[in-house]
Structure 1
Amino acid sequence: MPVDQAAGILAPGVMSPTDFGFDALPELPEPAIPDVSGKRQAIIDDALTQIGKWYVWGGESDAEGGFDCSGLLFWAFTKNGVDIPRVSGAQAARGKRVDITKLRPGDLVAWENNPEAPGADHIALYLGDGWILEAPRTGLKVRKRKLRANEGAWGVAMDY
């Protein structure tokens, strides 16, 4: 097998991935969501069913064609009997502000993107292990993603 000894790699064009018995890179693993129970687990489970639904400003149901960030949380929490306000700023104020590292699955993650309007203007559900579920913005769908350290977000510990 021709190898570039200096770089320690196969010479270009000599072999393809199928020569090694695979034809694609492996998928990234799903987030390792810590074991939770009760209403927290029910809220997470219900919210996860909305992955792939369109972001719709003001939306809080399939009947409206999708969800905005706070509408998604409002839908999942109220479906499970937890009283939560409808808009992101009020949702963020509903819990206690904490460092992201102190969050438990089922808590919230909030952002302030507009300094002219203080308070949370985007919000997401914390899934655990640094993963969130969000309805991001117009043109995108509800998704799971890893929270990045430099996003300027803060945690909201919920008391349900």
Structure 2
Amino acid sequence: MPQRPTAPALRIAVVATTAAAAAALSVLPTATAAPAPDSASATAPTVSRDVAPAAGVLPAAPGPAAQTAAAASSAAAPAAQAAAVRTSALSTAMAQLGKPYSYGADGPSAFDCSGLVSYAFSKAGKDVPRTSSAQASAGTKVSKSNLKPGDLVFFYKPVSHVGIYAGDGQVVHASTSGQPVKVSDMDAMPFNSARRI
């Protein structure tokens, strides 16, 4: 029958185990004692340690969701800037209401149709071609059903007139001799195409 260890032998074993544990923990960063939940029932303090990752371990690469969010954010920035340019150009064009039409004029005291467009976009920081036929190739094509304020709307075949879409089926344009810069119903003229700058 095996012999039971004596009390002094047990005490020596506990001390040796405690010393070994302390030596092993001494290589870790500084410990912080976590508060005991109930000092009456706690038998020993709980110790937590912040351990630095091992050298040479790389952080995890971003997952597909993070990559998709980053790509969407970088794609949204240019789209937001382009929308801001269109909004600014529309505001500038609306500020010209009532100014006279003059063939070949590009502002600021008088405009023809494409002169109004090029003036409004240049004030928004975007250069567009000077003539309506050249403007009809700028930017990207959009359908009549997908127009947004600030889009360019072209009329007649071949293109000979342009206005800036103002929303609700309206365009701001320098229409013709004897007519000031004004807002008109888009359907009052034969629609040709539309472009988004």
TM-score (norm 2): 0.54
Q: Give the structure 2 partner of residue 80 of structure 1.
A: 124
In the TM superposition, 1:28-67 aligns within 5 A as: 38-62=84-108, 65-67=109-111
In the TM superposition, 1:137-156 aligns within 5 A as: 137-148=176-187, 151-156=189-194
Indicate the structure (1 or 2) with the bigger Cα radius of gyration: 2
- Structure 1 residue ranges without an equivalent (≥5): 1-35, 114-118
2:113 is the counterpart of 1:69? yes
Aligned 8 A contact 2:155 2:193 in 1: no
- Superposed CA RMSD: 1.9
Of residues 120, 123, 126, the one that matches 2:159 is 120
TM-score (norm 1): 0.66
Name the one with the larger helix percent. Answer: 2
Of residues 115, 123, 139, the one that matches 1:95 is 139
Change (3 A) 1:37 1:110: closer
| Partner-residue secondary structure (3-state), 2:179 | coil
The one-letter code sitting in structure 1 at the alignment partner of 2:128 is I
| Higher RCO, 1 vs 2 (CA within 8 Å, ≥6 residues apart) | 1
The alpha-carbon deviation at position 151 of structure 1 amounts to 3.2
Q: Give the structure 1 partner of residue 56 of structure 2.
A: none
| Partner-residue secondary structure (3-state), 1:126 | strand
- Whole-Å Cα distance in 2 between the matches of residues 107 and 154 of structure 1? 13
The alpha-carbon deviation at position 37 of structure 1 amounts to 5.7
The alpha-carbon deviation at position 152 of structure 1 amounts to 2.4
